[in-house]
Amino acid sequence: MSYLPRIAQASATMELSREELAYYARHILLPSIGTMGQRKLKTARVLVVGAGGLGCPVLQALAGAGVGHLTVIDGDIVAVSNLSRQWLHRYADAGQNKAVSAQHTLRQLNPFVEVAGQPAMLSPENAQALVEAHDLVVDATDDLDARYWIDDACAASDTPWVHAALYRERSQLTVFWANCGARFRGLYPEPAEAPSCAGAGMLGATASIVGNLQALECIKLITGNAQPKVGQLVSFDADVLALQSFQLPGVQQPTRIDDPAAKSPASGITQEALQQALSIHEPLQLLDLRSRSQYESGSIAGAHHYSAEQILEEGLPTHGASRIVLFCQEGSISQILVDALHARESVKLQHLEGGYEAWQT
């Protein structure tokens, strides 16, 4: 599922390379992300406006998460005073454009994502075209005018955007989506009422928290793994680590879109079918994905211990078997692994339905 129609459709044909399976192993093993969620992230195109205190953690988190295309636009130059809170930039980058500096660092962080750095400021002239070329937008700027340009361009193209604003120890966060009734102009009709952090002091740790919260909202919108904060204004006070929120009136929550992707071939095997296969000595290999201590305390006879992370990073062990059955404790991890690997393996790959718990019943 996804909240974004293009991603739900395009991710059906997106594939992950073996190197990407290794890089994103810990994401793929999350039932809320899995292989399909990671494909959606690879499909996504995200525009980040600003490569400063918010933009740096947002970009780093989204690149690490595997967003396939990131565009960062910023016309500012890296200053030494930026470096204590804008951690994508290095001391040697002082004097370089922030978008170009961020692009260079992100390409080193994750070679599997495409990063485009635009050394310019967002403006009424370029905002609409930029927004229309992306699935969602992140507001990581302290330019108040830019927020209104983002809001107008996103409303015109039915694009959600993740807003945040910082002021010293306090910050706010929400997701605007005009189609759902949530607009920046609705909350702040006049610029004098809107928050701005320009010229204020700021701790990098505070900006990092808020930027990562913005990245989480992006991931929700892309993967559909949770309900995004559309029209829900969240306030964060770093001094007391307190979060407060209120829902804007008249906002409807977006609907998740079902995946059009075809289901992977039936890959489950029941406890009864596996017992029968073993009783007639079918040539198959059993891999126990549970922890070493669980494996040593009891497993299916003939099973070998192999961690899920190890399989995603190194591939399946090759012992000449034409059929491999994976099992974990409850069956969810082994199913995720089979879904991730079935198109890339020449052997018949199955998972034990219900896992080791089902085997013991």
Question: What letter would DSSP give residue 11?
Answer: G
Catalytic residue list: 197, 328
Cβ-in-10-Å burial (0-12, 13-18, 19+) of 199 comes to exposed
* Residue 23 CB neighbours (<10 A): 20
Measured on CA atoms in the order 212, 217, 223, 228, is the torsion positive or negative?
positive
Alpha-carbon span 99 to 96, nearest angstrom: 9
Beta strands in 199-330 (DSSP E): 232-237, 242-247, 268-269, 285-288, 304-305, 323-327
Residue 135 neighbours by CB under 8 Å, 6+ apart: 4, 6, 7, 44, 45, 46, 159, 222
Largest distance between two CA atoms of the chain: 78
Using DSSP's 3-state secondary structure scheme, residue 108 falls into: helix
Are the C-beta atoms of residues 251 and 181 closer than 8 Å to each other? Answer: yes
Using DSSP's 3-state secondary structure scheme, residue 93 falls into: helix
**What's at 157, amino acid-wise?**
S
Cβ-in-10-Å burial (0-12, 13-18, 19+) of 132 comes to middle
